[in-house]
Amino acid sequence: MLLFARSERAALLTLALVVAFPIACGFRTYPLFIATQFAVFAMVALSLDVLMGRSGQISLGHAGFFALGAYAAAILSVRYDVDLLVGVIAGAALAALGSLIVGLPATRLSGHYLGIVTLGFGVAVAQIALKWTALTNGDEGVHTHAIHLAGTVLSSPLHVYAVVFVALGAVTAFVARLPRTRLGRAFGAVRDSEIAAAAMGISVARTKVLAFVISAAIAGGAGALYAALTGFVAPEDFGIGQSLLFFAMVVVGGTASTAGTLLGALVLEGVSQAAATVGGLSLTLIGAAIVGVALFRPAGLKSLWRGGEGSR
């Protein structure tokens, strides 16, 4: 079976572009950092598309799951000097656990209710991170130890870059393959008709929670990698703005499309970086982009290469 359908080849192209970018810049530190940060954010965007595009739910608080993973990995690194792999697994596990908090009520909620609940979740996580100083060091943040993976210290940005891109590749492969699995079909069934899904023997509640758990676990794992990348985790990185940025990446790219989401992440991260010097400019541009997409191109960037087929 093909790993990527024809319509998903754009995903590979997007990835290749970003991998090539630091190489073209001669592996200087800043381009490497930017590219790696994009890869981390792209993983979160992909995880959010599993929830939104594939299973038809919504999260306006994905930075919360991202934060849980980042803090879990950073704190484990500082206190116990654990391997990055352990950090990633712990981050994914903590985020998955956290997702049950919103995922369980989510089985009985939809649309705007779920939007409000997840928004509140994201804010609550950031607030707890700010106030639980004994654990998180408050707004001073947590500085990680030297990051090591399988006995090797990741001493240069190039190492982290390599690790993160391998992870992004794995997440992309998983997400792209999902629609062609039993689980992915169950997600789509629940998204499109809960009544028919139940009649086909699918437990709607369990499927919805599972989508939350998988999505959060990926976001949490990405959070752990983010901690490894920046070497520093603080509450300000995980506010509403960050959650909305992830949301915007999926919407602008086009839901239920791996390649669209990757491209959306690339474009919006590009906008954020380019407009970072003027306060409020990137938020204005991203907001305008979202409104524009909703009004004029509801299918998002994926409509650039994909017509009616499988689109939604």
Partner 1 sequence: MLRCSGVTMRFGGLVPLDGVDLHVPERGLFLVVGPNGAGKTTLLNVISRLVTPAAGSVRFADRDLLALEPSALLDAGIARSFQKAELFVGLSALDNVLVGLDHRHLPERAARVRAIGMLEALGLGGVAHVAAGTLSHGYQKLVDLARALVSEPKLLLLDEPLAGVTAAEIPTLLAAIRDAARERAVLMIEHHLELVLDLAERVTVLDFGRTISEGPPEAVRRDPAVIRSYLGGKAVEHAW
Partner 2 sequence: MEILPQIVLSGLAQGSLYALAALGIVLIFNAGGVVNFAQGAMAVVTAYVTWALLNGAHVPYPLAVALALCAAFALGMATEMLVLRRVADAQPLTQIVVTLGLLMLLTGLVGMIFGHDPRSLPELVTLPSVALGPVILVPSDVFDVAVLIVLVVGLMVLLRKTKLGLGMRALGQDLFAARLAGISLTRVLSLTWGIGVALAGTAGILAVPNTTLTPTTMDTLVIYGFVAAVFGGFGTVSGAIVGGLLLGVVDNLIKTYLSPELSLSVVFALLLLALYLRPNGLFGRAVVRKV
Quote the tokens at residue 295.
């009004």
| CA gap 43, 27 in Å, rounded | 22
Question: Shortest gap between Cβ of 180 and partner 1 (angstroms)?
Answer: 8
Residues 6 or more apart in contact with residue 80 via CB below 8 angstroms = none
Least separation, in Å, of the C-beta of 188 and partner 1? Answer: 5
Q: Does residue number 52 form part of the binding site for partner 2 (CB under 8 A)?
A: yes
Under the criterion CB under 8 A, does residue 203 sit at the interface with partner 1? yes
Rounded-to-integer distance, Cα 168 and Cα 172, Å: 6
CB of 172 to partner 2, least distance (A): 23
86 binds, among partner 1, partner 2, none (CB under 5 to 8 A by kind): none
Work out the angle between the directed axes of helices 62-80 and 84-106 (0-180°, nearest 10): 150
DSSP conformation letters of 164-229: HHHHHHHHHHHHHHGGGSHHHHHHHHHHH-HHHHHHTT--HHHHHHHHHHHHHHHHHHHHHHHHHH
Selected from 18, 76, 286, 301, the binder of partner 2 by CB under 8 A is 286
167 touching partner 2, by CB under 8 A: no
Report if residue 195 touches partner 2, rule: CB under 8 A: yes
Phi, psi angles (nearest 5°) of residue 204: -60, -45
Among 152, 181, 273, 284, binds partner 1 (CB under 8 A): 181
201 touches, from partner 2, partner 1, none (C-beta below 5 to 8 Å by class): partner 1
The yes or no reply on residue 247 touching partner 2 (CB under 8 A) is yes
Task: Specify the residue for token string 């990527």.
Answer: 4
Q: Which residues are near partner 1 by CB under 8 A?
A: 179, 181-182, 185-186, 188-189, 191-193, 195-204, 256, 308-312
